[in-house]
Structure 1
């Protein structure tokens, strides 16, 4: 394997240019090959950040919070104390801005449009901006026909966008961002900070679990202590086209929604404005369905309404990631949604609500938050660049599968519009993609973690990965809602992860932890209360 001669050391210094004056953090750069298999492709430069161990140092611990496209630099600045506590302070905790992220790493952020205005003008009048207008479980023939009628337009739009991306300033780097490159970059950093034969310790969340599952199988001999939390199934990703198989990720999404409306019903009118006296979860659901229907009906009269049914679905979907926000959402945002759909909200309020929708969308697992006015296409470059070569798939195929997924997998969120749907039309694939096997014998055992009800990376993904690894993995489950175990506090999970990272002690396989009882999702309502009152499959 080609090793770039510049990959010898990181000159650690202050993080002022990285956006932090925290003297406990150190920052620097590392040059790595742009293509690890081609010495003539050039050099990439990684922005790296470190929080030094607070106790006797046992090595380094690498962390990736997912995205794809999440800034590891900003995450470290924000979560330094949590990460040091989680790891017992015995590691230098290290993160980095992966390729395609921000303006510190090179290649940096992938842009295809010069501004949000250019992007919005290009997609004006399409589902890219309005979301997919559907109600119920997408069985209305007129709604299905309306979606399928957009397929030729969206086929042309996404093909044109792909070409814009390819010919933009960052287009020459599209082949060099991706998961395999991220894995090899971690190894390059580890070689510099700990030595070329040292075990590599890693925590990956959400998309970071895909980096992690590729790492432990590409470099099984380098596996140290590894935690993968909120798991994407690497076999499904390697063998299926997510543009038509995305609904596999949503098997628990509607149950998380049931959790939110159940908590609202338990809180009652004093704790949740959507609840009337005596309401149960089905009554709260009926109000949401009526709200979505009202937005749909309004759009039939006026295409310029401030809030569409598709946007409502998207905003609701994002709430499923973060149960800690359910109380604020139902008490503050829900009344504003109702007023907006009824036409009672003033224009300034509607504009503010629109920004909140975009902000909430940007916080979800497969969307990107950026500082630039222009939308980032880094997530597309990574996910689509890594996906299989199935170029015969059309947008009509994608739409048909999306309808089926809404009807059969997730009534509430099957028609949400994640970044992967245009992947068959993406113009580039990564120079290296790992497709297995995912059953390598590992140098050390790893910990796989999941919530019981995760809206986007289901428990069965974690079970599948743990099954592939056999005796080399233990599965830990947090009995709660939300995306990753980070979504709710659990002293049990914290202790299990601490024991593993510090002492190498794995829990028994299929260990179940509970959410802390004092963590209230609504006033006087905790996770155990909601789990005890979840309705059946009638929503």
Structure 2
């Protein structure tokens, strides 16, 4: 009997445990997962291409999302989605989501643009047939990440004014550093007062994408992300490895590090790009620009400019032009314009006298190039005069800047234990990388909202194979960070473009880069080696603002900039030559394709990873 009683006593708890195991707790997200995804005709103002709108394949939808996936009871917002429907629904493989970068970039329209472009693929060419097949077999999906665009928006602002800060690498005075610290506190406090910013981070955005995937009834999420979009794509893949399909990460952040680490590489990478790529190009065309026959001679002329004009160059397009080839070839015109404005100032002219003198100043002998330089010179002069006024600026951040601040500060904890550590790092960067160094104002140190939990990297058995693209001289996402992230991801394959400085590669325009991407999405095949190398395209011609006249001819080959990379590991080696870029004849209507490609590039460049905290400094200048 004692045995029977003993077993009876043991049985009761086991039965109770079994009963608990089969009882399912209500899913707090079930109402979001049960919502119906209702597609409707997009407003024509968000689909500017008439042909795209008339195709009948572009549709919009609004998705209700929780502010906080870990506490849905806090409330909800709406995320706007646009898709370009698969051309052959019976052969549909799923959807490809797009993110153009940021953080704070709006990708609402990007998927439809790619869909429209690829639907124009010429089936009589190898590349064109594959592009059209992509458009036939996938929905191409863009969305406005939470806080931006057509989704619920956020903003930061305060009545306090941001104080003037001098060009940081040339003024390390206590007064200037104090002004930078005060500005950092003002921005951080303003963004911390906005309650929705607490829920704007990469973790919630990744979960938004997964919710949309589920509502579209897809088992896997396929994805193409640029710049910050690589951080978002890697976050999603680590968070939901079993649901990640084909993932392309293009122009990669330091995916294995913190936000502080990733942005901390920018002063070094922009400095390298400016001295080696930009000034190397200028020196090769000294007959046009007269900046010197070596990049060192050209840099000496730049270095002699006053701080106000160096600041003006950064604020009037030089930094943004470093992101793509067509911009790189325009930068020397701006440098010549800056030297001319400096010459006018040295003649004793001030204020509006400077502006009056620009119109007749001989920047170039070529009339078209001279007109281009005059336009640049006016912008530089206005910025110079604003700088000289030392006027304060408003602390108002629109949705894009506010999301940038929220994600940069909210994704990962700071790697610094004190504000002085920021100052010490910034002081060293000012010496080593004077183009942008010294601007680490550290507003995230004062940010008040909690940080998200970055997911760990799954094991090689769980991590799906992903594909990565990276250029050697990418300025905002340094190759050092990209390669570090690549090595940290099991099963990753990288195509590396040697001697190239493009930020946002795909579509690059050569089969060496683009064909592996197409084969990956169409057939699931990856390059044979996990690290393969392509040669850069030569820099293009400098063309007039209006018309097609070539003011400086296109270069005939890609010039060696630094070390080369082989196909096994990032070590110096020789890269075999690749074929010439494929022509726009891969599209049925090359003229339309060219316009759409320009629009895609514009979106990618406008939403590319910002240059750290420079975006908050002297905003009116």
TM-based fold match above 0.5: yes
Q: Which residue of 2 aligns with 1:59?
A: 94
SS of 1:228's partner is: strand
- Tell me, in whole angstroms, the C-alpha distance in 2 between the residues paired with 1:155 and 1:412: 20
Q: Which one of the candidate residues 60, 65, 75 is aligned to 1:42?
A: 75
Q: Which one of the candidate residues 295, 301, 315 is aligned to 1:287?
A: 301
Q: Which residue of 2 aligns with 1:132?
A: 168
- Tell me, in whole angstroms, the C-alpha distance in 2 between the residues paired with 1:255 and 1:163: 34
Q: Which residue of 1 aligns with 2:202?
A: 179
Cα deviation, residue 83, structure 1:
6.4
TM-score by length of structure 1 reads 0.77
Deviations 1:473-500 (A, max 9, x none): 1111012113232495433211111111
Which structure 1 residue ranges, 5 or more long, are not aligned?
135-142, 297-306, 359-370, 535-539
Cα deviation, residue 448, structure 1:
1.5
Q: Which residue of 2 aligns with 1:25?
A: 58
SS of 1:256's partner is: helix
Q: Which residue of 2 aligns with 1:530?
A: 559
Question: Would the aligned equivalents of 1:179 and 1:433 in 2 still touch at CA under 8 Å?
Answer: no
SS of 1:412's partner is: coil
Q: How does 1:435-454 map to 2 (within 5 A)?
A: 435-437=455-457, 439=459, 441-442=461-462, 444-454=464-474
- Tell me, in whole angstroms, the C-alpha distance in 2 between the residues paired with 1:6 and 1:335: 57
Matched, 1:220 2:205: no
Cα deviation, residue 527, structure 1:
8.1
Cα deviation, residue 190, structure 1:
0.4
Cα deviation, residue 26, structure 1:
1.1
TM-score by length of structure 2 reads 0.68
- Tell me, in whole angstroms, the C-alpha distance in 1 between the residues paired with 2:179 and 2:449: 21
Matched, 1:10 2:26: no
Which structure 2 residue ranges, 5 or more long, are not aligned?
1-26, 122-130, 346-352, 359-374, 385-395, 543-550, 564-621
Deviations 1:34-58 (A, max 9, x none): 1111121111210101112234321
Deviations 1:104-125 (A, max 9, x none): 212x032315xxxx67xx1242
Q: Which residue of 2 aligns with 1:326?
A: 328
Cα deviation, residue 95, structure 1:
1.4
Residues 346 and 91 (structure 1 numbering): CA distance in 2 closer, same or farther, change over 3 Å? same
Pair member with larger Rg: 2
Q: How does 1:162-177 map to 2 (within 5 A)?
A: 162-167=188-193, 171-177=194-200
Q: How does 1:335-350 map to 2 (within 5 A)?
A: 335-341=336-342, 342-343=344-345, 345-346=354-355
Q: How many residues align?
A: 469
Question: Would the aligned equivalents of 2:103 and 2:400 in 1 still touch at CA under 8 Å?
Answer: no
Matched, 1:379 2:404: yes
Q: Which residue of 1 aligns with 2:264?
A: 247
Q: Which residue of 1 aligns with 2:426?
A: 402
Question: Would the aligned equivalents of 1:230 and 1:484 in 2 still touch at CA under 8 Å?
Answer: yes
Matched, 1:434 2:454: yes
SS of 2:60's partner is: strand
Question: Would the aligned equivalents of 1:64 and 1:208 in 2 still touch at CA under 8 Å?
Answer: yes
Q: Which residue of 2 aligns with 1:151?
A: 177
Deviations 1:222-273 (A, max 9, x none): 11100111111232117xx44xx74334544333221111112222323xx2
Q: How does 1:196-211 map to 2 (within 5 A)?
A: 198-211=219-232
Question: Would the aligned equivalents of 1:478 and 1:513 in 2 still touch at CA under 8 Å?
Answer: yes
Residues 372 and 527 (structure 1 numbering): CA distance in 2 closer, same or farther, change over 3 Å? farther
- Tell me, in whole angstroms, the C-alpha distance in 2 between the residues paired with 1:356 and 1:481: 30
Q: Which one of the candidate residues 263, 269, 275 is aligned to 2:281?
A: 263
Question: Would the aligned equivalents of 2:98 and 2:110 in 1 still touch at CA under 8 Å?
Answer: no
SS of 2:450's partner is: coil
Residues 133 and 250 (structure 1 numbering): CA distance in 2 closer, same or farther, change over 3 Å? closer
Computed over aligned residues only, the root mean square deviation of the Cα atoms, in angstroms, reads 3.4
Q: Which residue of 2 aligns with 1:511?
A: 532
Cα deviation, residue 375, structure 1:
8.1
- Tell me, in whole angstroms, the C-alpha distance in 1 between the residues paired with 2:283 and 2:376: 27
- Tell me, in whole angstroms, the C-alpha distance in 1 between the residues paired with 2:195 and 2:191: 9
Question: Would the aligned equivalents of 1:313 and 1:416 in 2 still touch at CA under 8 Å?
Answer: no
